[in-house]
Amino acid sequence: MNIQLGEDYEDMSRQTAEFIAAYVRRKPDAVLCFPAGDTPVGTFRRLIELSRERQVDFSRSKWVGLDEWAGMGRLDDGSCQGFMYDNLFTPLAILEENIFFFDACAPDLARECVRMDETVSRLGGIDLMFVGIGMNGHIGLNEPGTNIDSYSHVVELDSVTRTVGQKYFSREIKLEQGITLGMRHLMEAETALLAVSGSKKAGIVRQALEGPVSEKVPGSYLQKHRNSHVFLDREAASELDIILPGDTAVQ
């Protein structure tokens, strides 16, 4: 695992965006999978700037959706798909034909998982998979207890996700199920990228990066990835034992 420390959220976001832009410059037709949520907002903002400055070109990249709340689609307040369109796909003018998302309103979600797995295979797998980590250690909606060999699956949401997930919605909502790419997609991705910020995540970052590799903390599977890159801000890194380059204050 390669871990990089940023001073704060903005710095961590800038580093994450630079890493992604460098990747896409090397491989303009890369298959990318990015998360919705609070963590990537700063990274997305910087990527949009880089694209407008013509420092990176996303027009040939392909985009695979990471996860979705069951029963929600692009136009639903708080949906992952809606978030990705508003914060990334529309500002980057990504063509519809290059976007591959779960249809979480499909009547048969198990079939939808098969369709998504086939789509990822047809695209030749994911090149760069960018994820955040939940307060419970989840990756996408791979909740604690998820096997490392899982592909796409329908999930009964963990109580932490049901509660924390309320922050994405303008009114209280019942969150019960989700649909997500699996941990195996992450393990098979050519490059895995995790970004985390804030002191509230320091404990789970420590468990994921320095604790035992365990299904109790799906984020810990990243330790076994052959090419994983982790971007932390100083607060998120504050409980780690390792001393990171450029760091004097963490210990």
C-beta of residue 109 within 8 angstroms of C-beta of residue 178:
no
Query: Active-site residue 233, yes or no?
Result: no
Asked if residue 132 binds ligand PGA (CB under 6 A), the reply is yes
Residues in the chain: 251
Stretch in the footprint of ligand PGA (CB under 6 A) among 26-34, 99-107, 131-139, 181-189? 131-139
Asked if residue 133 binds ligand PGA (CB under 6 A), the reply is yes
Asked if residue 79 binds ligand PGA (CB under 6 A), the reply is no
Query: Active-site residue 143, yes or no?
Result: yes
Helix axes 9-26, 41-52, angle to 10 degrees: 50
Asked if residue 37 binds ligand PGA (CB under 6 A), the reply is yes
Q: State in angstroms the smallest separation of the CB of 132 from ligand PGA.
A: 3
Q: State in angstroms the smallest separation of the CB of 97 from ligand PGA.
A: 27
User: Residue 79 and residue 72: Cα distance in Å, rounded?
Assistant: 6
User: Residue 12 and residue 179: Cα distance in Å, rounded?
Assistant: 28
User: Residue 243 and residue 251: Cα distance in Å, rounded?
Assistant: 7
Asked if residue 38 binds ligand PGA (CB under 6 A), the reply is yes
Residues in the site for ligand PGA, rule: CB under 6 A? 37-39, 132-134, 138
Catalytic residues: 67, 136, 138, 143
